[in-house]
A and B are shown apart, each in its own frame.
Chain A
Amino acid sequence: MRRFFRMSQISFKALVGVMDPKMYVLYKIINPALQMVFYTLVVRFVYKSQDITPWILGNAFMLCANNAVFAVGRMLRSDRDQGTLQLIVASPINKLYAYLARASFNIFDASFTVIIGLIVGIVFFDLDFTGTNLPLFALSIITAMVGGIGIGMVIGSIALVISEIHLFLNVANMVIYLLSGASFSREKLPAYLHLLSELIPITRSIEASRIIAAKGDLSSALQLMGTDFAIGMVYMLIGFALYGYFEYKARVDATLEAY
């Protein structure tokens, strides 16, 4: 377990180590807070007198998409850019273990970002958690982050074989936001997009957090979180399977370092 945590920590340090503390604060705290302010102002203007708590929560949760797409999604690609991918492939360690360890620190990092979003909601937009079941609410954040990291792992594996990496990651980020229903009801989406949105793991955790914040039926919230967690795990396995396939192809074609 210690080894798992150490790997996770080192991998995370490698991702953010290039930033000095000032830049880290700007990128990981100020920017998400501003993103949160921006979307909340939009929904407050559009929905006017309606209760905008569900949309504040949705946008706070969606701050994790940046972690999922740009941190986890770029993890393997960074390995190749920095020349360490071949060392990982050649290492005797269990690849699934290494893969999960390296992505897992991002769950805490993404949760931290979501908490920043919630603080912005409390301070500037009167988000109220009085009487809310906080442990269950925290659990909804964790399940959303597991789902986010799962989708990030799929994106990360695909990013290994795509040359237009920035285009792919940015489109993925925007599409996840669109389908999440963070700022509007998913019922507004056309049937085919609605179906696609069901496949995004974070959506159910957002709905669960809304139920918990509204002090609604906690068993249905738990059910939603359970489904999201399961979908998140399926995404992780798909991500790992894709990675395994691309690694196999790269070994056969000798294209591991090609991009």
Chain B
Amino acid sequence: MRSNVKAIISSCKLQMKQSFSRSMFKFVVILSPIISAITFYFIYSDKTDETLISYVFLGTAITSMWSSISFSSAGDIDRERFMGALEVIFSAPIQFKIIMLGKVMGNTILGIASMLISLLVVVVLFGAKFTLAHPVLFSISMLLGIISFVFIALMLSGLLAISRNTRILMNCIDYPVFILCGAYFPIDVLPDYIRPLAYVLSPTYILKLARMSISGITDYSTFYSCILGLLAVTLVYLTGYLWFYRVIDVKARKEATLEVI
């Protein structure tokens, strides 16, 4: 247990240094939230402060988090493979999935920074008032959201590691997620037959919970059912993560194609 924790911390620190040295990650964590927040501010410019916070800040924050955690983590196995380090990590005495957990946590810490940048742009640059009706519930929602993001990132990294077209797939999963989770608009604008798909994505619940915590909760049963929904999908991601990493482990030993680019 202790060695696992040490491995997670070391992997997390190393990942932060490695990620931040990549220009694409700097873009995703720093510049993308700034330019996105500015663009969506102009789209929403004649709306109230509450709408700006709910859609511009939260939209930019969650999409930036998604990009920095899920997008980056999804490509980590591919990057390690390309650098020739994958087989070393894979055959280390610490389990591969534990090392990857540390890496995703590193991306998560940097992802939180992108969220704060989005908030700063909306509040400082455009002077929108950020008031929270339920600060404690907002914090709990965001904490659960971040944990959920970690597991969805781990699941995706495993899933996309099985594909050799990871990079292209990574570039194509952003818009479906942004549409389905209602990052910049409520999911009520989606057609009825598509809406159920939104509920397999944790950002949908995170956004709903955060928006309710900001504007005030009128119906606590809806709030708690969103919490339950978020926990349920996180459990599914956790199962997916463990299962996909098992598949990778078996495939790598059986087919000996771990380092094949």
Among A27, A37, A167, point to the contact of B26 (Cβ < 8 A): A167
Residue of B nearest to A170 (CB): B27
Q: Does any Cβ of B come within 8 Å of A233's Cβ?
A: no
Count of chain A residues near B, Cβ 8 A: 33
Per-residue A-contact encoding for B43-76, CB less than 8 Å = 1, 0 else: 1110100000000000000000000000000000
Contact B43 A175 (CB under 8 A): no
Q: Does any Cβ of A come within 8 Å of B105's Cβ?
A: no
- Using a CB-CB cutoff of 8 Å, which residues 142-192 of chain A contact chain B? 163-168, 170-171, 174-175, 177-178, 183-184, 188-189
Per-residue B-contact encoding for A13-25, CB less than 8 Å = 1, 0 else: 0000001100100
Q: How far is the CB of A183 from chain B (nearest CB, A)?
A: 5
Contact B186 A167 (CB under 8 A): no
Q: Does any Cβ of B come within 8 Å of A34's Cβ?
A: yes
CA distance A45 to B55 in the complex (A): 11
- Using a CB-CB cutoff of 8 Å, which residues 175-222 of chain B contact chain A? 175-176, 178-179, 184-186, 189-190
Number of residue pairs A-B, CB distance < 8 angstroms: 83
Q: How far is the CB of B11 from chain A (nearest CB, A)?
A: 24
Segment touching A, from B33-41, B144-152, B229-237, B246-254: B33-41
- B36 surroundings in chain A (CB, below 8 A): 174
CA distance A169 to B26 in the complex (A): 13
Segment touching A, from B78-86, B109-117, B164-172: B164-172
Those 8 A-B pairs whose CB atoms lie nearest each other, nearest first = A45-B185, A34-B175, A164-B23, A167-B23, A166-B24, A174-B35, A167-B27, A178-B39
Which of B's residues lie within 8 Å of A, judged by CB?
22-24, 26-27, 31-32, 35-36, 38-40, 42-45, 47, 165, 168-169, 171-172, 175-176, 178-179, 184-186, 189-190
Contact A23 B168 (CB under 8 A): yes
Q: How far is the CB of B221 from chain A (nearest CB, A)?
A: 26
Contact B175 A171 (CB under 8 A): no
Residue of A nearest to B51 (CB): A46
Contact B44 A46 (CB under 8 A): yes
CA distance A184 to B178 in the complex (A): 19
Residue of B nearest to A42 (CB): B184
- A41 surroundings in chain B (CB, below 8 A): 179, 185, 189-190
CA distance A112 to B165 in the complex (A): 24
Contact A35 B171 (CB under 8 A): no
- B38 surroundings in chain A (CB, below 8 A): 178
Contact A31 B32 (CB under 8 A): no
Among B22, B23, B42, B171, point to the contact of A27 (Cβ < 8 A): B171
Among A20, A34, A44, A167, point to the contact of B189 (Cβ < 8 A): A44
Given A34-B176, A166-B27, answer yes or no on A45-B39 (Cβ-Cβ < 8 Å): no
Contact B42 A188 (CB under 8 A): yes
